[in-house]
Amino acid sequence: MIPEVYNFAMNAVPEGAGARPIRLLPDTLISQIAAGEVVERPASVLKELLENALDAGATAIDIRLDAGGVKRLRIADDGHGIPRDELAPALTRHATSKIASLEELENVASLGFRGEALASIASVADLTLTSRARGAPHAFALAGGHRDPARAALAAGTVIEVAELFGQVPARRKFLKSEATEFAHCGEALRRIALSRPEVSFTLAHNGRVAQHLKAETLEARITHVLGEEFARGARMVEAQAGPIGIIGMIGDPAQARASRDAQYFFVNGRFVRDKVLQHAVRAAYADVLHGDRQPAYALFITLPPAGVDVNVHPAKTEVRFRESQGIHQFVMRAVSAALSASAADAPVPMANAASGAPAAIVDGGADAVRPPAMFTPTPMSLFRAAPPAGQPQSQAAYFAMFSAAGATSRAMEAPAPSYLPAPLPEGDMPLGHAVAQLHGIYILAQNRAGLVVVDMHAAHERILYETFKKDLEGERIAAQPLLIPVAFNAERIEVATAGDYADALDRLGFEITPLSETSLAVRSVPALLADTDAKALARDVLKELQEFGSGEVLTRHRDELLSTMACHAAVRANRRLSLAEMDALLRQMEETEKSGQCNHGRPTWYQFALADLDRLFLRGR
């Protein structure tokens, strides 16, 4: 478990506790422990509450924050509400109206399903739940810790008010950052939700002032309002479908010299996710059109059958696990490449209405008006002019294979078996042999005693860098190359704040990133191994990553993610020609590097073709 959880236990258990008999933990303590995973800061509370509102079919959501959401966070929605008798269960751990069986969990399409958010929040803050179920004569309110709802005034929907977050848990409160940082995180949480639900309107007020208002609109309009006009102007549309898998969205213009903001949003079945496989796929597609490692902005929405993806990896649920990650990688990369290579004649076309229908007016009462939770059903969407996406046949085949083989079994819960197990290195002095050629700027062909070795050079390089970083960090810190000419760039406020908050972690990673103003940063030092990559893009990536991780000891909790972000950065260089000597050097490093059989994304890095197999191809008996 994560260290912070231990902190909790230690707070609660006096010294010498070892001698006590084993007992079940009190329920509030369990909730507080669970809160350690789900509730990290106001933004995570906001995210959970927004998801609940959407699950309740809300069409208009009003958010009010005070002091970055720490002091007060209030959300009002016009959803179907909660009946009086269900108010108390809603605040109880593992109580949910959304799933009832394991079977349902595998096909879960609502945003929430663990039934622990409200209980967790109530255990670390003052929570009041006010709701009027559709058709109910009036509303009821229930405060955390109380049993009996009291009558209250509310026209429709649900209002949840959370005050004094971590007020009773000083150990957690001290990890909260400045009001501006926490507010910025809340803004980001809202952006993610808002992108996924353009048909819902949102209002965000901070300290009594309206900071953002988004009316119900089309997906294109929503992306434009969230990612900015500048992004939208040069953006390309992405749309592709392969069997049951679809992708839709907008990606930044590769030629846009200074991208408006490095906003990168991926949604899987309507749920925001951070996923290395997906990020890598987009980056790989851009690598062909961008020199260096410029990072694009994008908002992309993937739909696939719920059984093809496991969302139950992490309680905060921004991580997912694809059953067939290699296939998804290919599919996304092709779709994005196709959008990028589309000629200027295929300039952006306005999207049709992305909402399933016109935004419903706020309903008040009416027994028939209860809508089911907004389920995200993976239907093929065609919001764009139908254009045949390149590379479709192949990915389609991959997907049919994927789903016919998997069937609708309960595999979603298992850790996905890697589709490829790295073979042990062959015997001999130089197990991977000598390079003989480079294929399409992607693969190295090498000859070893057993036959032919094919190496994916980017994947291999990535793995090598990653392991080197890991080793370095086990020492004290990663070797740094300070820059003679610092790289300055315009940054989001949140990036500037993050650079300050995580100066120590950055230092150990080899970075020095200092503010020039409230909205600009200078990179003064980069990890020596990455001295030649685009410092700005690298810095932004790492800051973004840090910003995601929230409080605490990022280098112990998130070391591997950070290092793989860095490695990924340096390694994605499509079409670089290597000399035989360089290729041999890479092979030797692979042999030395632990686990070089797979890149950081779990893809294989090399493959052996035995001479005997080749002989068979040519019907050559031996």
Ligand X SMILES: Nc1ncnc2c1ncn2[C@@H]1O[C@H](COP(=O)(O)OP(=O)(O)O)[C@@H](O)[C@H]1O
When asked if residue 511 is in the footprint of ligand X (CB under 6 A), the reply is no
When asked if residue 158 is in the footprint of Mg ion (CB under 5 A), the reply is no
Report, in Å, the least distance between residue 509 CB and another protein. 12
Stretches 116-124, 358-366, 469-477, 505-513: which one binds ligand X (CB under 6 A)? 116-124
Per-residue tokens: 302: 């993937």
Write out the H or E segment, with its range, that includes residue 184. helix 179-196
Select 112 or 510, whichever has its Cβ closest to Mg ion.
112
Q: Give the interface size with ligand X as a residue count (CB under 6 A).
A: 23
SS3 414: coil
- Compute the distance between CA of residue 566 and CA of residue 537 in angstroms, rounded to an integer: 10
When asked if residue 117 is in the footprint of Mg ion (CB under 5 A), the reply is yes
When asked if residue 504 is in the footprint of another protein (CB under 8 A), the reply is no
Residue at shortest CB range from ligand X: 112
Residue whose C-alpha is closest to residue 333's, from 293, 374, 365, 302 = 302
When asked if residue 537 is in the footprint of another protein (CB under 8 A), the reply is yes
Distance of CA 422 to the CA centre of its chain: 27
SS3 239: strand
Residue type, position 206, single letter: H
When asked if residue 439 is in the footprint of another protein (CB under 8 A), the reply is no
Handedness of CA 9, 12, 13, 14 (dihedral sign): positive
Measured CA to CA in angstroms, residue 289 lies from 78, 253, 254, 438 at distances of 45, 10, 7, 20
- Strands 264-268 and 209-214, by their bridges, are unpaired
Stretches 92-100, 454-462, 557-565, 575-583: which one binds ligand X (CB under 6 A)? 92-100
Select 471 or 616, whichever has its Cβ closest to another protein.
471
Of these, 31, 52, 131, 565, which contacts Mg ion (CB under 5 A)? 52
When asked if residue 202 is in the footprint of ligand X (CB under 6 A), the reply is no
> Per-residue contact track with ligand X, 144 to 173, x per CB under 6 A?
--------------x---------------
Beta-strand (E) ranges in 457-519?
Answer: 480-490, 512-517
When asked if residue 312 is in the footprint of ligand X (CB under 6 A), the reply is no
Q: Which of ligand X, another protein, Mg ion, none lies near 528, with the C-beta cut-off 5 to 8 A by kind? A: another protein
Stretches 52-60, 226-234, 295-303, 596-604: which one binds Mg ion (CB under 5 A)? 52-60
When asked if residue 484 is in the footprint of another protein (CB under 8 A), the reply is yes
Instruction: Name 37's Cβ contacts closer than 8 Å, sequence gap at least 6.
Output: 2, 5, 314, 315, 316
Of these, 252, 510, 550, 597, which contacts another protein (CB under 8 A)? 510
Per-residue tokens: 412: 């979603």
Q: Which of ligand X, another protein, Mg ion, none lies near 90, with the C-beta cut-off 5 to 8 A by kind? A: ligand X
> Per-residue contact track with Mg ion, 3 to 42, x per CB under 5 A?
----------------------------------------
Residue whose C-alpha is closest to residue 36's, from 178, 175, 226 = 175
Beta bridge partners of 204: 63, 212
Terminal Cα-to-Cα distance of the chain (whole angstroms): 56
Of these, 31, 32, 44, 52, which contacts ligand X (CB under 6 A)? 52
Stretches 52-60, 176-184, 287-295, 538-546: which one binds ligand X (CB under 6 A)? 52-60
- Compute the distance between CA of residue 5 and CA of residue 38 in angstroms, rounded to an integer: 12
Handedness of CA 94, 99, 103, 106 (dihedral sign): negative
Measured CA to CA in angstroms, residue 17 lies from 14, 21, 22, 26, 171 at distances of 6, 9, 10, 16, 20
When asked if residue 580 is in the footprint of another protein (CB under 8 A), the reply is no
When asked if residue 294 is in the footprint of another protein (CB under 8 A), the reply is yes
Instruction: Name 103's Cβ contacts closer than 8 Å, sequence gap at least 6.
Output: none
When asked if residue 325 is in the footprint of another protein (CB under 8 A), the reply is no
When asked if residue 525 is in the footprint of another protein (CB under 8 A), the reply is yes
**Residues present in the chain in total:** 622
When asked if residue 112 is in the footprint of Mg ion (CB under 5 A), the reply is yes
The residues that touch another protein, with contacts defined as CB under 8 A, are 291-292, 294, 468, 471, 479-485, 487, 510, 525, 528-529, 531, 534-537, 585, 589
The residues that touch ligand X, with contacts defined as CB under 6 A, are 48, 52-53, 55-56, 77, 79, 81-82, 90, 95-98, 112-119, 158
